[in-house]
A and B are shown apart, each in its own frame.
Chain A
Amino acid sequence: MSRSQPVWLTEAVTVTALGDSLQQLWDRLMAGRSGIREVEHFPVDQYASRWAAAVPGLTPSGGRTGRSRLHPLLERLFDSMPAADADTVLFTATTKAGIDSLEPLCRGQAADTTGMVPSDVPRLISRRLGLTAEGVNINAACASSTIAVAKAASLIRTGRASSVLVCCMDVITDFVFSGFSALQALSRQPCRPFDRDRSGLTLGEGAAALQFMSAERAAGRNRKPLAAVVGWGMSNDATHITAPARDGCGLIRAIEKALHLSQLDPGQIGAVSAHGTGTVYNDAMELTAIRHVFGDRSLPVYSVKGAIGHTLGAAGGIEVALAAKALAEGMVPPTVGLLHPEPEAESLVSTRAQNLSGSTLLTTNSGFGGINAAIVLKSGSLP
């Protein structure tokens, strides 16, 4: 194999319940604000929760055309995205794409089904951005965009591509809301990650676009690195399709693979952006895995899902963008929604922003199907 190419994140844009830019998201997150509100775009009084972190002002789905809410979300993302070179390789990441178009179809009504299935999404985005190749969508539950970032980084590291764009997205739909309600996974109140009284997750919606380049190509385009992707790892729990392995075995393996590839010891990781959904079992599993990897060391750990909800397939990408921001600012955001930390989390999570010591950050996600993924980012200010 040829010499490994450095992988730089050169652009990151986000659309979330806390605003249409990464800077807005960062500022509001650091101020401890939450985008979680009562759901207005479909009735929820029959479900276990009425809360979600919807993107404000997004055109409701359905209506006369039965068009998915995915389209206005993507338009918001495109509005703030810089142009991509035509030869850029595209990875999209979504779990359910425009599944809200399915409801009118199932009711026997007409619907615009463009974007209803995930395989439509790369074609839609590639054409919109004028890319030569159509790209592919990565679908791995709530680790979809984390894996897409890993695939992007791998292509650049091995010299197979020099410019890769990851676009991730998911919207809040009646379909997904009813399902998590049926699984009794929704928190009755806005979620409280790593809190001893947590009782479930709160859904969110959002999108992110992450431009990755080889260092050489970035220099040629006069792009500065926001951060470098230095390691990644994925694994499957092989225990259950909806519940995490209680001993954290899969997440531990994913983190260890990412550390191995990055040639870093756990002691060199400055902070952890956890999945932190607020469900009893996910957060407990993560704390077990973090303790296994980092021992009794006290390092900043945070979750953003108490502020922007669980954005499903977009979560990993949004969290990578925020992690790059955290590395640049030398701070990690507070865990919004946290009131009384789980005893195991007391020296890790905080209701306030924490200083980030060092230049590396680990970000992780886990999902249905037993999947776990971890990414190690390094500060962009370092060579």
Chain B
Amino acid sequence: MSALISGLGWVTAAGMGGGKSLCPFAMTTDRLPPIDRKAVFDQPYKNFGRMDEYSRLGLAAIAFALRDAGLEQSAAQRDIGLVAQTEYGCLWTDIDYYNSALPDRGTMASPNLFAYTLPNCFMGEAAIRFGLTGDSYIVNEPSASGMAALGLAVEEIAAGEAQTMICGRCDLGRPPLLGSSGQVAAGALFFVLENAPVAQRSYYGTLERAAHGQILFEDERISDLTALARRCLQIKR
């Protein structure tokens, strides 16, 4: 049971980019800078401006991952699935929405903000932008490792339910309203997984699902998605 990694992309406080670029990669708990459309897409993209910060974060990292895999552009829709881990999801947007709803007892609640108060909505934005018609769902894991999401993505490929999956994590971190304990890194990191090699496409390596649900990358046990990204970059660079 295996899947090939053909692309990775990220947006973190340290920078944004894809694996085959020379952008530095680090996942830290620092606050993310605002994500500017021009840093992600060359051409204007009207949906980008209306999105919440969480959706911009996820969409941008998926864009870098697909670009890294050579799969960003396509004339037709594609049966590519999306699965992502998040701990706090769209909670920052929830707070913004609720603060819009509290005055005047909800009569001034923002419908546009409410549309982004589901953590899977950035996947809908990615599906629209890149023509992805596979399944798309969020995995909320008690640990922030992202390994359950990765396991489910590898499982789908192994079961023949998907040929290509985009898998990763997307989190803005713990809002200050909840206190400072339990902070998780703010950032998004996505991988493109494929079931079989395609000519003229390069791969970082192979993921395998071993016994007891463990996941191996190039025969080494992986503990979280950040470690997987580092290992991919070590191999490539």
Chain A residues within 8 Å of B, Cβ to Cβ: 1, 43, 46-47, 95-96, 99, 102-103, 105-107, 113, 117-123, 134, 136-141, 143-144, 147, 151, 154-155, 157-158, 160, 174-175, 177-184, 234-242, 250, 253, 261, 367-371, 373
Contact = CB atoms under 8 A, between A and B. Distances in A.
B91 interface: yes
Interface string B150-161: 001001101111
Given A175-B98, A181-B106, A241 B140 contact: no
Q: Which of A107, A119, A140 has the most CB of B within 10 A?
A: A119
30 contacts: A47-B106, A95-B118, A106-B95, A113-B178, A117-B91, A119-B87, A119-B88, A119-B140, A119-B141, A122-B140, A136-B141, A138-B137, A147-B135, A155-B155, A178-B106, A179-B117, A182-B109, A234-B81, A234-B136, A235-B79, A236-B127, A236-B133, A236-B135, A237-B127, A242-B115, A253-B79, A367-B118, A369-B124, A371-B135, A371-B137
A37 B178 CA distance: 34
A252 to B, nearest CB: 11
Q: Is the interface of B mostly helix, strand, loop or mixed?
A: mixed
B235 interface: no
B149 to A, nearest CB: 8
A183 B115 contact: yes
Contact of B114 (A141, A179, A369, A370): A179
A67 B87 CA distance: 20
A99 B178 CA distance: 13
A304 B160 CA distance: 33
Residue from the set A95, A369, A370 with the largest chain B CB neighbour count within 10 Å: A369
B71 interface: no
A157 B159 contact: yes
A96 B114 CA distance: 12
Nearest to A122: B142
B110 interface: yes
A283 to B, nearest CB: 20
6 A-B pairs with the lowest CB-CB distances in the bound complex, closest first: A234-B135, A369-B124, A179-B114, A119-B140, A178-B106, A140-B137
A154 B121 CA distance: 24
B128 A241 contact: yes
A125 B138 CA distance: 19
B134 A235 contact: yes
A181 B152 CA distance: 35
A279 B141 CA distance: 33
A184 B143 CA distance: 37
B161 to A, nearest CB: 7
B89 interface: yes
A313 to B, nearest CB: 10
A31 to B, nearest CB: 34
Contacts of A158: 155, 158-159
